[in-house]
Chains A and B, each alone.
Chain A
């Protein structure tokens, strides 16, 4: 009789999830699923609130990437005002967003995934955490802490708070940048770049050790979606959406965020609270796509900053369908973000005091799209004539990746999990697949609470045979 393995909770991710692996009578993996186990209701309880509150309200979805929600929400509110946000304010928002991506990527890579990469997938789970990393490779741990700090400090200098800054407002930002803060930010960039390059060097040196995982994590081939800027460059704030197939052929380009409902649909699977969006013209599941660092680097021609573009050359030689390379893409993006912040801080009008456009609501509907650390983030609001929210729809980066995570789990489980001789390292590889996506499940379900991960091993009748909880 077959069994079911349950990994519950999945660890070293942002949020609550569990994985179930169904075995057949021979102890081989028959099926596996990734379940997100909570619901929060942000879309519903914001109804009736004045839209000017939305950026700060929506930022509360997450403590890791509040800035991403601030940006997407403010962009949706800009549309409600129907104003042109001053270009200097856009650049300040860009810097904030890039600092956010830097710190979030650093958290994902150094704190959550580097234990697998440094200590090995089969190492002692008691050691396989950021403290184990600090013991074995103190420099790596220190670099991770420092990179996060740089990102967080830039956020704090701009927004006055590291978490949930209220500085991004409908129409722009609430106060301009001072020369003093600009210098303080610029002073941190060289060290950040040095850390990013050092880490990239180390990462490339260990890449060969994970050939099997890289190959296993590539078994799910999907479309990619993300924002692309002018000249085919990496763009985290504006730009238009591009969709590319698994062979890097562009199948749709110049898509406007405002029209997302025309080309994106969401489907509901019975085993999870997280919806699965897909590209409408290709249907479900063929139209399923991935977003985030891997998608973004696949979609663009260049990053647009010199050091990141150098790294991109090597990245292009890899099988970039493999979700394992999310890690590599994430490190390249850290480098890009720091270089880009430096560029933006050197733009001539960055200290301008024209940073906000004022207006009453002039449109009843607004859609804001931006790139969050984990991928494309969409906020869609409707208001009544008094400016109170009547409808909100959020499509979160982790949601876009839901199908790829769910199917990826099955493929990776098939490759590594042997029911007859079950070992912890096998299950850790299944979790590691999920970690490559850096899912933020509290964001994607807009849900409450902490989010550990669990794995369940089920027999063919659905009974729990083994359960790993953390």
Chain B
């Protein structure tokens, strides 16, 4: 039998099931914790670290998307320290890639951009890397611009977990890490890709987009994900 825990989040009383994460319980109680890699309907991996929270008695910060609640937990989601860390994470994402909003297909519809605005990141204090990254436009309908990829792996997860194709994966390590299709071959030559476009719709930035869109025209529609996940849950 699933236990129900009582805890406090930002000094407000909250309850949730033992199999729920801090992120879920907080949201159920009207508290929004910033996140970029997490998306309802996909597994949680705690990659972006934007959702880190403070838990009393725990010396390190914990990602709210992968930390389950516990009885008597005291969680703080929005301290000055957390705000500073989150802004720094956003700055690092911008500095690590080549994000030129003004000429991006996702300008105005980008989760990285709106998160930066929400968190008050109005300039980047870190030196830019200006990495040399490639664009893969070999697919007939979609394109990948690695300059805008923040390695959230939503594309990898949706392809493996929902579509079941597992076309996408990661290659290399550290700042060299990159998303690849199949065995690191041009997307257009991938045999596993079903061209379903789920990866494009869940991508939080303009890294994956539909061809033919001009600047600012790529709006993402990922509500299908929740519906699909619920339907599959009902089938079980």
Contact = CB atoms under 8 A, between A and B. Distances in A.
A387 B211 contact: yes
Contacts of A174: 214, 217
Contacts of A166: 107, 214-217
B171 interface: no
A57 interface: yes
A164 B143 CA distance: 24
A174 B218 CA distance: 12
Interface string A365-402: 00000000000000000000011100000000000000
Contact of B212 (A48, A57, A358): A358
Contact of B214 (A164, A170, A388): A170
Nearest to B141: A360
Interface string B143-159: 10100000000000000
A214 B102 CA distance: 43
B135 interface: yes
- In the complex, which range does the number of interface residues on chain B fall in? 10 to 19
Contacts of A386: 137-138, 143, 188
B51 interface: no
Interface in B164-218: 188, 211-217
A386 B142 CA distance: 10
A108 B145 CA distance: 40
A80 to B, nearest CB: 12
Contacts of A57: 103
B197 to A, nearest CB: 16
Contacts of A360: 140, 211-212
A75 to B, nearest CB: 14
Contacts of B217: 166, 169, 174
A349 B210 CA distance: 30
B105 interface: yes
A195 to B, nearest CB: 32
Contact of A56 (B138, B145, B211, B215): B215
Contact of B135 (A48, A169, A170, A358): A48
Contacts of B214: 52-53, 55-56, 166, 169-170, 174
Interface string A44-65: 0000111011011100100000
A465 B215 CA distance: 50
Nearest to B186: A386
A216 to B, nearest CB: 43
A55 B217 CA distance: 13
B143 A56 contact: no
Interface in A132-178: 164, 166, 169-170, 174
Chain B's interface: helix, strand, loop or mixed, by majority?
loop
B215 A53 contact: yes
Contacts of A53: 103, 105, 214-215
Given A166-B214, A387-B211, A50 B137 contact: yes
Chain A's interface: helix, strand, loop or mixed, by majority?
loop
Contact of A50 (B107, B134, B143, B188): B143
Nearest to A52: B214
A49 B135 contact: yes
A387 B211 CA distance: 9
Contacts of B102: 56, 60, 164
B135 A52 contact: no
A164 B216 CA distance: 12
Nearest to B211: A387
A48 B147 CA distance: 12
A271 to B, nearest CB: 32
B137 A388 contact: yes
Given A57-B103, A60-B103, A52 B137 contact: no
A166 B217 CA distance: 9
Interface string B82-112: 0000000000000000000011010100000
Interface in B214-236: 214-217
Interface in A165-221: 166, 169-170, 174
Contacts of A56: 102-103, 214-216
A169 B105 CA distance: 12
A50 B211 contact: yes
A174 B135 CA distance: 25
A110 B7 CA distance: 68
Contacts of A388: 135, 137
| Most-contacted residue by chain A among B102, B211, B212, B217 (CB, 10 A) | B212
A163 B213 CA distance: 20
B103 A52 contact: no
Contacts of A387: 137, 143, 211
Nearest to A358: B212
A71 B21 CA distance: 52
Nearest to A170: B214
A386 B135 CA distance: 10
B97 to A, nearest CB: 15
A49 to B, nearest CB: 7
A173 to B, nearest CB: 10
Interface in A21-72: 48-50, 52-53, 55-57, 60
A50 B217 CA distance: 14
A388 B139 CA distance: 12
B122 to A, nearest CB: 19
Nearest to B138: A386
Given A57-B103, A60-B103, A164-B102, A52 B138 contact: no
A164 B100 CA distance: 14
A49 B137 CA distance: 10
Given A52-B212, A56-B214, A360-B212, 19 more contacts: A50-B137, A50-B145, A52-B105, A52-B211, A52-B215, A53-B103, A56-B103, A57-B103, A60-B102, A164-B102, A166-B107, A166-B217, A358-B212, A360-B140, A386-B138, A387-B137, A387-B143, A387-B211, A388-B135
Question: What 9 pairs across the A-B complex have the smallest Cβ distances?
Answer: A386-B137, A56-B215, A169-B214, A166-B215, A57-B103, A56-B103, A166-B216, A52-B214, A386-B138
14 contacts: A50-B143, A52-B212, A53-B103, A55-B215, A56-B215, A60-B103, A166-B217, A169-B214, A169-B217, A386-B138, A386-B143, A386-B188, A387-B143, A388-B135
Interface of B: 102-103, 105, 107, 134-135, 137-138, 140, 143, 145, 188, 211-217
